[in-house]
Chains A and B, each alone.
Chain A
Amino acid sequence: MYVAVKGGEKAIDNAHRLMGQTRRGDPAVAPLTLQQIEQQMPLAVARVMTEGSLYDPELAALAIKQAAGDLIEAIFLLRAYRTTLPRLAETQPLETTRMTVSRRISATFKDLPGGQVLGPTFDYSHRLLDFALAAEGPDTPPPAAPEGSPPEVADQPMPRVLSLLADEGLIQREPPGDPEARVGDITRQPVDYPAERDVRLQSLARADEGWLLGLAYSSQRGYGNSHPFAGEIRQGTVAVEIVPDELGFAIEIGDITLSECEMINQFNGSKTEPPQFTRGYGLAFGLAERKVMAMALVDRSLRAEELGEDIAAPAQDQEFVLAHADNVEASGFVQHLKLPHYVDFQGELATIRALRREQAEAAAGKDETP
């Protein structure tokens, strides 16, 4: 006689043990250290920190290790940890004009104050597998240092490309923020549509890179006219400051590495606005150039309503973009289909059998009529 399957608890325990073994792989191979991940997979660490919304390279490395390299799982681990942390203070707005840049490029001007700094990039490399890396061992000398003297970029404010345009009045000015107004916080307030730009940018900052990349791409291919130029992309470190209540003035609590992108987009003007350029903005932790570029394109697309444009393309529709951008939510909900649905499926089975029976009976009735 059939007995309902028991032993869920034991099965779960054993499943986790098996995953532990899968994660570890061959025990004869040395285990990965967090330092190795943090140092040698910095772009994976950056993505996990950005979409996990927590700047902590060591914990991100731990999450990557624990997730066996599944970055979305690692992002989930970091988020679930982050949500338990107390709020100690709010930082001052980051001043990326004072970034110590390692890379800064503009696609709109050949030269500009502060210069073009190529910095570390995969760009212009030929994507040929480097078999020398496969043979790398502890005795291999470290990669060669760049030749020549480093460009003198440190310590002088580097004006934003977009503010050079703004001086001429050619680009839309950002509405001045109200310093007294609190910035929205999507981790403490559910998103209320239509969402303001602060909330939108927060959602985009933690949004799945693949989702943003696809949407940004769609906006370039005619689903929403974006006509973008990469006004400026910069990467580097920025000081984080807080104002402790007991001091009353700002103190630096550390540096974080950021990638920032400001896109310049065509705009034909509207009833109230003269023709001018408009902006899209992207910001992420660590080296995350693809993410910030995609984010800037999507940010601009989502400003359609504000600029009086028609909302016709998916990338312009904020409920569509933002409600499906979080990969922790998306991954959970897509994968919940693995959970049993016996009860609902039984309901559907009963319905479809009844419908088919009725149809068969009706057909049989028709055959009998002469």
Chain B
Amino acid sequence: MTMPAPTRASTPTSEGYNFAYLDEQTKRMIRRAILKAVAIPGYQVPFAGREMPLPYGWGTGGIQVTAAVIGPKDVLKVIDQGADDTTNAVSIRRFFARTAGVATTEATREATLIQTRHRIPELPLNERQILVYQVPIPEPLRWMEPRETETRKMHALEEYGVMHVKLYEDIARFGRIATSYNYPVRVDGRYLMSPSPTPKFDNPKMDRMAALQLFGAGREKRIYAVPPYTEVKSLDFDDHPFEVQSWDQPCALCGATDSYLDEVITDDRGGRMFVCSDTDHCRRRRDAQEEAAQ
């Protein structure tokens, strides 16, 4: 199997709609919010999120951010759970192929713009790439304090003790921190930030990432950002340092031992296998193995 080349959308941009669906005024409003977010890393900037033709909770924030930053020359990759072929990733990729007529790709290294839900690609990203996260709940303190009026104050005063208490309670009850995804991070030593529901396995990739990271929460109407090469630190304790998930076995398809694995149930008698969640990573490794074998 060889790497598919970026495909140019065959159908022209949808009639009656602006490039990438949103009108230019709306894009300008979103870009202003993005600029502010980049200037204050990790700070949640309110923006006047629009209704999109896709449901709330299905990536409307990410879609609006992508629509605001995408240009005709961009090459777009969309992943959900690390995979390009999950139904919602297909739907969002089609949306931009249809409304912006941009090239799309499944190859991480060819993409200039990657919209993601729940994963960061295994391949390190570079400076000419932008990673757009779909965020359901942007407020990391929400589970401790449901009120926006309160959490706003806590951020302003850097009052993040409750989060440490929560992690400490995990250790007291379970002997370890039991948060496995959406693991809170501190950005540039200032704002506490939700990485979106990515597994904590991906947290170290956010730290000093070369690519610009943009986060869009459509329903909650918030945008935040991590500029390139910014420190992103996962919260932990001196005696309980941050650690990521690991598996006892390698990927059943490509043999990777360094990637996040999905568990696939193969029968009803407890049979299971583990495969890379990042489909591009897995395919790239298998292609390389085939080439080496020839």
- Which residues of A pack against B, CB within 8 Å? 1-2, 4-9, 11-12, 76, 79-80, 82-84, 86, 187-194, 319-320, 323, 328-329, 331-336, 339-344, 346-351, 354-355, 358
Report yes or no: B200 in contact with A347, Cβ–Cβ below 8 A. Answer: yes
Given A83-B52, A194-B149, A340-B88, 7 new contacts (CB under 8 A)? A8-B87, A332-B55, A336-B57, A336-B58, A339-B87, A343-B199, A346-B260
For B178, the closest partner residue in chain A by CB is A351
Report yes or no: B260 in contact with A343, Cβ–Cβ below 8 A. Answer: yes
- Which residues of B pack against A, CB within 8 Å? 17, 23, 46-53, 55-58, 60, 80-83, 85-91, 94, 117-119, 136, 146-149, 174-176, 178, 180-182, 197-201, 219, 221-222, 245, 247, 252-253, 260-264, 266, 273, 275, 277, 279
A-B pair number, CB within 8 angstroms: 146
B271 CB → nearest A CB, Å: 10
A297 CB → nearest B CB, Å: 23
- Across the interface, B136 reaches (CB within 8 A) one of A7, A12, A76, A333, namely A333
Interfacial chain B residues near A342, Cβ < 8 Å: 81, 262-263, 277
Chain B, interface SS category: loop
Report yes or no: B47 in contact with A80, Cβ–Cβ below 8 A. Answer: no
B123 CB → nearest A CB, Å: 17
Report yes or no: A343 in contact with B50, Cβ–Cβ below 8 A. Answer: no
Given the known interface contacts A79-B51, A343-B119, A346-B263, the answer about A2 and B252 at a Cβ–Cβ threshold of 8 Å is yes
- Across the interface, A332 reaches (CB within 8 A) one of B17, B56, B181, B273, namely B56
Given the known interface contacts A343-B262, A344-B118, A358-B175, the answer about A187 and B48 at a Cβ–Cβ threshold of 8 Å is yes
Report yes or no: B149 in contact with A319, Cβ–Cβ below 8 A. Answer: yes
Report yes or no: B55 in contact with A188, Cβ–Cβ below 8 A. Answer: no
Report yes or no: B86 in contact with A340, Cβ–Cβ below 8 A. Answer: yes
Interfacial chain A residues near B82, Cβ < 8 Å: 343
Which 5 residue pairs are nearest across A and B when measured between Cβ atoms?
A332-B56, A347-B180, A336-B57, A332-B55, A333-B57
B113 CB → nearest A CB, Å: 20
For B90, the closest partner residue in chain A by CB is A8
Report yes or no: A12 in contact with B147, Cβ–Cβ below 8 A. Answer: no
- Across the interface, A347 reaches (CB within 8 A) one of B52, B149, B201, B275, namely B201
Interfacial chain B residues near A79, Cβ < 8 Å: 51
19 A-B pairs within 8 Å (CB atoms) are namely: A6-B85, A8-B87, A12-B90, A190-B48, A192-B46, A319-B147, A319-B149, A333-B57, A335-B55, A339-B80, A339-B87, A341-B118, A343-B277, A344-B118, A344-B197, A346-B199, A347-B200, A348-B180, A355-B174
Given the known interface contacts A344-B197, A347-B201, the answer about A333 and B85 at a Cβ–Cβ threshold of 8 Å is no
For B180, the closest partner residue in chain A by CB is A347
Q: How far is the CA of A344 from the CA of B200 in the complex (A)?
A: 9
Report yes or no: B85 in contact with A80, Cβ–Cβ below 8 A. Answer: no
Report yes or no: A328 in contact with B51, Cβ–Cβ below 8 A. Answer: yes
Report yes or no: A346 in contact with B261, Cβ–Cβ below 8 A. Answer: yes
Interfacial chain B residues near A320, Cβ < 8 Å: 146
A364 CB → nearest B CB, Å: 16
Q: How far is the CA of A83 from the CA of B121 in the complex (A)?
A: 33
B114 CB → nearest A CB, Å: 16
Report yes or no: B50 in contact with A193, Cβ–Cβ below 8 A. Answer: no
A63 CB → nearest B CB, Å: 13
| Most A CB within 10 A of own CB, among B51, B53, B87 | B51
Given the known interface contacts A76-B55, A355-B174, the answer about A329 and B149 at a Cβ–Cβ threshold of 8 Å is no
Interfacial chain B residues near A8, Cβ < 8 Å: 85-87, 89-90
Q: How far is the CA of A343 from the CA of B119 in the complex (A)?
A: 8
| Most A CB within 10 A of own CB, among B57, B117, B176, B178 | B57
Report yes or no: A83 in contact with B50, Cβ–Cβ below 8 A. Answer: yes
Report yes or no: A190 in contact with B49, Cβ–Cβ below 8 A. Answer: yes
Interfacial chain B residues near A346, Cβ < 8 Å: 199, 245, 260-263, 277
Report yes or no: A9 in contact with B57, Cβ–Cβ below 8 A. Answer: no
Given the known interface contacts A328-B51, A332-B219, A358-B175, the answer about A344 and B91 at a Cβ–Cβ threshold of 8 Å is no
| Most B CB within 10 A of own CB, among A9, A12, A343 | A343
Interfacial chain A residues near B253, Cβ < 8 Å: 1-2
B82 CB → nearest A CB, Å: 6
For B137, the closest partner residue in chain A by CB is A333
Q: How far is the CA of A80 from the CA of B51 in the complex (A)?
A: 5
Report yes or no: A82 in contact with B51, Cβ–Cβ below 8 A. Answer: yes
A333 CB → nearest B CB, Å: 4
Report yes or no: B200 in contact with A80, Cβ–Cβ below 8 A. Answer: no
Q: How far is the CA of A169 from the CA of B260 in the complex (A)?
A: 70
A229 CB → nearest B CB, Å: 32
Interfacial chain A residues near B245, Cβ < 8 Å: 346-347, 350
